[in-house]
Structure 1
Amino acid sequence: MVVDAEIALLRQFGHEVEVYAQHNDALKEMSRSAAAVSAIWSQRSAAEIDSLCDRFAPDVIHVHNTFPLISPSLYWAAAKRRVPVVQTLHNFRLLCPQAIFLRDGKICEDCIGKLPWRSVARKCYRDSAAQSAVITAMLATHRMIGTYRERVTRYIALNRFARDKYIEGGLPAERFRIKPNFVQAAVSPVWGGRSGGLYVGRLSPEKGIGVLTAAMPLTREAQIEVVGGGPMEAAVKDAFGERYLGVRPLTEIMERMGKARFMVLPSICYENSPRTIVEAFACGLPVIASRLGALADMVHDGVTGLLFNPADPADLAAKIDWANEHPEQMARMGHAARAEYDAQYTPDRNYEMLMDIYEDAISTGHRERRAA
């Protein structure tokens, strides 16, 4: 969704955009060894990027995800053509094979700044030692040959927390810029008649849906609707009954955000920059979120929402009760949330930030070519 939104934004402002993508369904036709080699260095991707540079002659290549099929060979193909590369870091894969710093339901930073060999022994990626070994080999190879330090002109971190984690993990600080995700606000917020809460997201352990489920019996009066799908769907359906709505289209989700008093985001992992927060702010909806990682940067406690202790159902229940019992204060937070959206997360503001980053990357590329 982020990639599609950025492509549409660029084209809206008159830029030519060529899209290069590979679909993971191709893995079904590959042997395990071929898939492993491709994740580390894809000859196909390098050749196709080289050909695209011949035909399209890009001013900049903006990369969102190379794992597993495209591989970091893309960066070297760009360097061969002397095209600057901008890389958006949507997760923490370059530091943690699992990408979210979570192990056994708790934050784990054991691999920051180190070769993540522990992930193989612990089967961190998809509970597989073999697949974890492939990611570790990819990271080791490209750290050793300087791919991540030297072949990416500018990194885009989605917030300060993510930027600081990547710098702690060894990426060069001078190559980072911060640009959050954005959404198009469909309607102007309606401030009156709001009630109840809303959860929107994947129904999986790292998203903290289990924390929300455990908090429900501890609240005095909580009418919370749950939107989403995932492996914990059956448990959520049992806990929320008719208030479990399943997967719904974005238009309907935004409508529900415009009617709710608050949204709950109880993640127990390091979220990077959830679009749901930006969508909520666009609808004038304050957020009750875990005081964890980037969530504590995005949600200002008592201003645009409330923060609670991570993985603490009792504290979450207390914050939900407070929100239900203080509608005027929550309405003020909703106004502040919309003001935050207008200042930080609109398409126009995002376009300005993206152009600044592209121009910086292009001018840096020119200086490096002259120096060479």
Structure 2
Amino acid sequence: MVSAPFQTPRALLHVFNRYLFRGGEELIADKIHADLSTQHEMTWCQYDSAEWTRENAPSKLDQVRRLFYNRDARNRFEAALDRSDAGAAVFHNVHPVGSPSLYHSALKRGLPVVQFLHNFRPFSVSGTLQIDGKLTPDALYGSYWKEVRAGAWQDSVVKSTLFALMLKALHRSGWLKSVKAWVAVSDFMREKLVSTGALPAARVHTLRHAWTPMPQLPAIEDAGYYLFMGRLAETKGVIPLLDAWDELHRRLGKNTPLLHIAGEGPLNATVQQRLRTNPYIGQLGHIGGETKREALRRCRAVIVPSTWWEPLGLVVYEAYDYRKPVLAAKSGGLTEIVQNGVTGLQHEPGDVKGIVEDVLAMEATPPTSRLVIGSAGRQWLLRETTTQIWLQRFEEILMEATKS
């Protein structure tokens, strides 16, 4: 008797704890939901960090308890699971509201979990492995002391201590056995997680983000300015970028190209201070919609100077979609999607001189050659990030996760 071929679950439960400030992970989680909906019956189970900041939020003491194990979140998870009749769950971030209770519930219910890793949590208090502007991968080896001392979570030593204790408890609980497949978004990220012993190689897979490119390109212009889009935080290389523009101003004077900074974050005041001393730096704040499209359409190049191990860098996809060169740090997954001299230029993370040299090189590049570089990025995007390829690879990962 020939057994029927194994089928992956038709229904999936999609779990995500949204952040206080919307970012790239939010965008990609929504896209994953939409893409998987073409193949599966998808049900959202969502939490929101804002639930703990609203008027009717749990007390601080109750939040501490729920950080370790949130029974209310577990009940919501199980209710969504029962409604969906899902055969597997797809997890993104579950902290702080979702809590480890979701892994515990999945394990008890025998529900296989596919866990996407958009940063280094649940192996790092900060999620970035960066402390005071320096990469500190101790957390991948199970040591959170340096992150705690630096107040890596919400700029608080007390909160960071609690988060570290929660991570320790989670890893010792055995509840992560519910995760049958860990999905890193770059080969770099996978290699770091495996080589440090944080995860077993057999259960860690690479799946870069898919992208839906614009079917019709708008008229591309070059208004001469450089564009930074991202969270205004140390991990994104904001300080080296500002320092580089000060150096460019010293060298070039009135011939300094403009830098437009789009985004919000803890370094907002620092950026505003630099605006007062360098007239060639402009701040756009948070942008979206037509404003964002115009910023991309008219820039000369996009700068991605991240100093942490950037898992991938969705902003590179956005730049490529508009045929724009990318000036990126040799950081994490950025090394896999930015080709030096082909789709952009690369500098060492945090290297002010390197950023300056990249900008000067781009300034010296003829307009036709800049267009060739941007077009190479667009071709890479069309070739490497199709939803069809992404779905096929996800199904392979899901099959391994649900068969094990």
TM-score, structure 2 normalization = 0.82
Q: Secondary structure at the match of 1:21?
A: strand
Range with bigger deviation, 61-70 or 139-148: 139-148
Structure 1 residue corresponding to 2:244, chosen from 208, 215, 239 = 215
| 1:3 matches 2:29 | yes
Q: Secondary structure at the match of 1:348?
A: helix
Counterparts of 1:175 and 1:65 in 2: how far apart (Å)?
18
Larger fraction in strand: 2
Counterparts of 1:14 and 1:172 in 2: how far apart (Å)?
29
| Equivalent in the alignment of 1:199 | 228
Q: Secondary structure at the match of 1:66?
A: coil
Structure 1 residue corresponding to 2:304, chosen from 249, 252, 265 = 265
Range with bigger deviation, 49-58 or 91-100: 49-58
Q: Secondary structure at the match of 1:110?
A: helix
Structure 2 residue corresponding to 1:292, chosen from 328, 331, 352 = 331
1:96–1:116 Cα contact (<8 Å) kept: yes
Root-mean-square deviation over aligned CA pairs: 2.3
| 1:307 matches 2:346 | yes
Structure 1 residue corresponding to 2:361, chosen from 315, 319, 322 = 322
1:78–1:85 Cα contact (<8 Å) kept: yes
Residue type of the partner of 1:235?
A: Q
| Equivalent in the alignment of 1:117 | 145
Superposed displacement of residue 83, structure 1: 2.0
Counterparts of 2:273 and 2:385 in 1: how far apart (Å)?
34
Structure 2 residue corresponding to 1:180, chosen from 208, 211, 227 = 208
Range with bigger deviation, 341-350 or 152-161: 341-350
| Equivalent in the alignment of 1:336 | 376
Superposed displacement of residue 195, structure 1: 4.6
Q: Secondary structure at the match of 2:182?
A: strand
Counterparts of 2:40 and 2:142 in 1: how far apart (Å)?
40
Q: Secondary structure at the match of 2:90?
A: strand
Counterparts of 1:151 and 1:34 in 2: how far apart (Å)?
26
Counterparts of 2:314 and 2:83 in 1: how far apart (Å)?
34
Residue type of the partner of 2:202?
A: E
Structure 2 residue corresponding to 1:77, chosen from 105, 109, 119 = 105
1:105–1:268 Cα contact (<8 Å) kept: yes
Structure 2 residue corresponding to 1:15, chosen from 40, 45, 53 = 40
TM-score, structure 1 normalization = 0.89
Superposed displacement of residue 135, structure 1: 1.3
Structure 1 residue corresponding to 2:125, chosen from 94, 97, 108 = 97
Q: Secondary structure at the match of 1:97?
A: coil
| 1:234 matches 2:263 | no
Superposed displacement of residue 172, structure 1: 1.3
Residue type of the partner of 1:22?
A: Y
When residues 311 and 2 of structure 1 are mapped into structure 2, their CA distance, relative to the original with a 3 A threshold, is same
Q: Secondary structure at the match of 1:112?
A: helix
Counterparts of 2:184 and 2:279 in 1: how far apart (Å)?
36
Counterparts of 2:275 and 2:153 in 1: how far apart (Å)?
28
Superposed displacement of residue 154, structure 1: 0.7
When residues 65 and 218 of structure 1 are mapped into structure 2, their CA distance, relative to the original with a 3 A threshold, is same
| Equivalent in the alignment of 2:7 | none
Superposed displacement of residue 3, structure 1: 1.4
When residues 120 and 189 of structure 1 are mapped into structure 2, their CA distance, relative to the original with a 3 A threshold, is same
When residues 43 and 332 of structure 1 are mapped into structure 2, their CA distance, relative to the original with a 3 A threshold, is same
2:213–2:382 Cα contact (<8 Å) kept: no
| Equivalent in the alignment of 1:156 | 183
2:66–2:99 Cα contact (<8 Å) kept: yes
Superposed displacement of residue 169, structure 1: 4.5
Superposed displacement of residue 320, structure 1: 0.5
- State, as a whole percentage, how many aligned pairs show the same letter: 25
Superposed displacement of residue 323, structure 1: 0.8
Residue type of the partner of 2:172?
A: M
Range with bigger deviation, 151-160 or 42-51: 42-51
| 1:47 matches 2:75 | yes
Q: Which runs of 5+ in 2 are unaligned?
A: 1-26
Q: Secondary structure at the match of 2:327?
A: strand
Range with bigger deviation, 22-31 or 316-325: 22-31
| 1:282 matches 2:321 | yes
Q: Secondary structure at the match of 1:65?
A: coil
Residue type of the partner of 2:30?
A: D
Q: Secondary structure at the match of 2:261?
A: strand
